[in-house]
């Protein structure tokens, strides 16, 4: 399969609205329920170790995260193979039920461990002589390791099932909504967990956590997933051979490798940031166990905001662009947090840094997951996400292990340095990803950057949509002729033409505007006079087409109101006949009509563009310099443009 290919859905089209999709809503609620309880047990374990009253709270936080994520690293490919071979629904139900039983019995498990070893093993020796009840942080890691084992079983099945429940064009929105609910649940979990443990002790947290897993299992049981397809073509080999096949698939697909590497960088940074939050609270902001919950919630609010933004944008922002921009943003946020930690300039500033880290981090995860779900076929999807779990969690474990395994003395005073290193790595990775993406484009770096920026603006704000295929040939000289109702028309055409870059005939006074004129020259527009014959401009346009370029022309010459009849200029016919270029008609509607230059850019629109088949001008052969022929050709082109106008436009 080509890296750029988007596999066709393996099921009948689900409802148009994602919020009317019963299966998606059930999976969404199940994920929310289990995420709601995830951090209740974490807050209980922090309280049991009196984390905010010690000088190694960074180490404790790192060990907690390390223990939970270690099973993802150890068993990721096997769990991914399981998700491709067995019914994903029942894998998730089993994982939830086992975690529920584990949480219900967690308090009893601690009693048995302490009684069995009685502090004689290194793992259970008190960490301080005067605090006999506080054992080594590694003892508290045992139940988290077991919980993480079945979370690793759940994760690739959920990620692989999601795109089979929704439409292909809803994958970014679906991932955004799914990831948005995770932070919401985490916020509630951190805050409620901190208050529960302060009021009732850690046992209550474990029981509530178990109840959330039971609720998740009940919701998943109600999902009716479509029948699996495309899974019996040599892609489901048994045992070790099947796991190796998944690894080989990842190895031979460049974009898959890149996405996995981006998540490795993110999770490594996330391991550092999550580990230092107790230290920030205890030594920079001067808080207690409840405040840890609030700052974790701030990080969650940032993740919620990032996921919600991507859900709202949908496909308006390309996933590759979101990843590279978000890596840079997350890196700058980490550097800001380092500055706050070093200067101790206030709780609000620290909260802002955590919020931005969460926002950009969520955008990285949502975009990477959505892009993988689009480009990887269903029969390999579970194993690819299993490999992603191994690689990304490997980065997280390396970071948290480096902080948690050695007995660093006074490690909390190095928090600013850790954050600066983390931020620098993220920014460097983001810049590298941006350069690679722009160089991989069809055009120069500057043109690719401008085209991406224009596409984002048009999709997100103008809400441009192409109706039908783009009929512009992939090579050779082309004239794209369209109606003209707004200054936004050229931007809409560029945004809906994926394989070619359009230059335009543009009024000379616009080309002389200082900033805008620079853009006009960069995209090689041809400046023309509004009145009289401009021989130099005609020659420049003919040279542009002779070089095999694509030129956009508005035959009416200027912006006209909707009720104003079109007035033709024969220039488009003259250029078409003399250049021999392919002429493609296009019709634009849904943009509010306005001759004002700036006003349309400020308003929301629902723009649509329709391209017609190339126009046959063979009837004008031998009349290349006949002015009447140019006029007749222009009339034919305008007729074809207006034929594309929909009845309701």
pLDDT digits (tens, 9 = 90+) for 230-254: 444 445 556 577 778 888 888 888 8
Q: Which residues contact 231 (CB under 8 A, 6 or more apart)?
A: 84, 378, 379
Maximum CA extent, the chain: 103
Average pLDDT, the chain: 80
Burial class of residue 625, CB neighbours in 10 A (0-12, 13-18, 19+): exposed
The residue that leads in pLDDT, 544 or 127, is: 544
Helix (H, G, I), strand (E, B) or coil at 583: strand
Question: Within its chain, how far is the Cα of 160 from the centroid?
Answer: 16
Torsion of CA 369, 373, 379, 381, to 10 degrees: -10
Q: What is the 3-state secondary structure (H, E, C) of 388-404?
A: HHHHHHHHHHHHHHHHH
Domain with CATH 1.20.1250.20 in the chain: 18-124+134-223+236-439
- Residue 559: DSSP 8-state: -
Position 424 confidence tier, pLDDT thresholds 50, 70, 90:
very high
Size of the chain, expressed as the number of residues it contains: 649
Q: What is the 3-state secondary structure (H, E, C) of 125-144?
A: CECCCCCCCCECCCCCHHHH
Q: Are 242 and 236 in contact (CB under 8 A)?
A: yes
Q: Are 361 and 266 in contact (CB under 8 A)?
A: yes
The predicted-structure confidence for 490-508, as pLDDT tens digits, reads as follows 999 999 998 888 988 887 7
The order of strands in the sheet holding 526-528 is 465-467, 608-611, 582-589, 478-482, 550-553, 502-507, 526-528
Position 9 confidence tier, pLDDT thresholds 50, 70, 90:
very low
- Domain 18-124+134-223+236-439 sits in which CATH superfamily? MFS general substrate transporter like domains (1.20.1250.20)
What is the distance between the alpha carbons of residues 55 and 20, in angstroms, rounded to a whole number? 51
What is the distance between the alpha carbons of residues 378 and 134, in angstroms, rounded to a whole number? 47
Position 532 confidence tier, pLDDT thresholds 50, 70, 90:
low
**Gap between the terminal Cα atoms of the chain:** 40
Q: Which residues contact 325 (CB under 8 A, 6 or more apart)?
A: 363, 430, 434
């Amino acid at each position: 399969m080509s890296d750029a290919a988007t596999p066709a859905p393996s099921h009948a089209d689900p409802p148009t609205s994602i919020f009317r999709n019963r299966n998606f809503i059930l999976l969404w609620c199940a994920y929310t329920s289990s995420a709601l309880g995830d951090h209740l047990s974490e807050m209980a374990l922090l309280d049991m170790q009196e984390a905010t009253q010690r000088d190694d709270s960074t180490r404790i936080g790192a060990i907690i995260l390390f223990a939970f994520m270690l099973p993802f690293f150890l068993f990721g490919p096997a769990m991914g193979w399981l998700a491709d071979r067995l019914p994903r629904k029942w894998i998730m139900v089993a994982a939830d039920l086992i975690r529920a039983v584990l949480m219900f019995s967690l308090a009893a498990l601690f009693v048995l461990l302490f009684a069995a070893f009685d502090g004689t093993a290194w793992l259970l020796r008190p960490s301080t002589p005067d605090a006999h009840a506080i054992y080594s942080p590694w003892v508290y890691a045992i139940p988290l390791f077991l919980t993480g084992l079945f979370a690793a079983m759940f994760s690739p099945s959920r990620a692989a099932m999601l795109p089979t429940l929704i439409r292909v064009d809803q994958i970014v929105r679906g991932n955004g909504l799914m990831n948005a609910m995770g932070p919401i649940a985490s916020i509630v979990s951190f805050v409620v967990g901190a208050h529960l443990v302060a009021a009732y002790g850690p046992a209550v947290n474990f029981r509530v956590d178990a109840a959330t897993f039971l609720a998740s299992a009940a919701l998943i049981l109600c999902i009716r997933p479509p029948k699996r397809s495309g899974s019996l073509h040599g892609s489901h080999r048994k045992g070790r051979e099947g796991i190796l096949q998944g690894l080989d698939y990842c190895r031979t697909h460049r974009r898959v490798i890149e996405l996995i590497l981006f998540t490795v960088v993110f999770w490594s940074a996330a391991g550092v940031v999550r580990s230092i939050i107790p230290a920030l609270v205890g030594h920079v902001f001067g808080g207690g166990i409840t405040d840890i919950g609030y700052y974790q919630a701030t990080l969650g609010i940032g993740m919620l905001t990032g996921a919600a933004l991507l859900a709202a944008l949908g496909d308006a922002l390309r996933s590759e662009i979101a990843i590279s921009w978000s890596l840079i943003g997350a890196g700058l946020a980490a550097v800001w947090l380092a500055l706050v930690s070093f200067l101790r300039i206030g709780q609000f500033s620290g909260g802002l840094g955590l919020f931005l880290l969460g926002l950009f981090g969520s955008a990285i995860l949502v975009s990477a997951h959505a892009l993988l779900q689009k480009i990887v076929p269903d029969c390999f999807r579970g194993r690819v996400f299993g490999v992603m779990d191994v690689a990304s969690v490997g980065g997280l474990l390396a970071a948290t292990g480096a902080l948690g395994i050695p007995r660093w003395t006074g490690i909390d005073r190095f928090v600013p340095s850790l954050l600066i290193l983390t931020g620098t790595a993220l920014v460097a990775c983001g810049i590298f990803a941006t350069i690679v993406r722009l160089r991989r484009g069809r055009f120069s770096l500057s043109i690719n950057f401008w085209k991406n920026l224009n596409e984002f603006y048009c999709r997100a704000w103008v809400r441009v949509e192409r109706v039908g295929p783009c009929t512009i040939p992939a090579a050779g000289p082309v004239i794209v002729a369209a109606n003209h109702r707004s200054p936004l028309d050229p931007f809409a055409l560029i945004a809906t033409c994926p394989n070619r870059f359009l230059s335009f005939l543009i009024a000379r006074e616009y080309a002389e505007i200082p900033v805008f004129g620079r853009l006009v020259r960069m995209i090689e527009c041809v400046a023309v006079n509004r009145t009289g014959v401009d021989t130099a401009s005609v020659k420049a346009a003919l040279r542009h087409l002779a070089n095999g370029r694509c030129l956009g022309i508005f035959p009416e010459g200027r912006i006209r109101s909707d009720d104003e009849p079109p007035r033709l200029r024969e220039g488009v016919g003259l250029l078409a006949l003399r250049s021999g270029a392919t002429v493609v008609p296009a019709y634009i509607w849904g943009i509010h009509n306005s001759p004002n230059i700036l006003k349309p850019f400020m308003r929301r629109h629902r723009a649509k563009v329709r391209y017609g088949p190339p126009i046959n001008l063979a009837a004008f052969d031998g009349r290349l310099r006949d002015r009447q022929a140019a006029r007749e050709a222009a009339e034919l082109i305008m007729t074809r443009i207006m034929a594309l106008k929909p009845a309701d436009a």
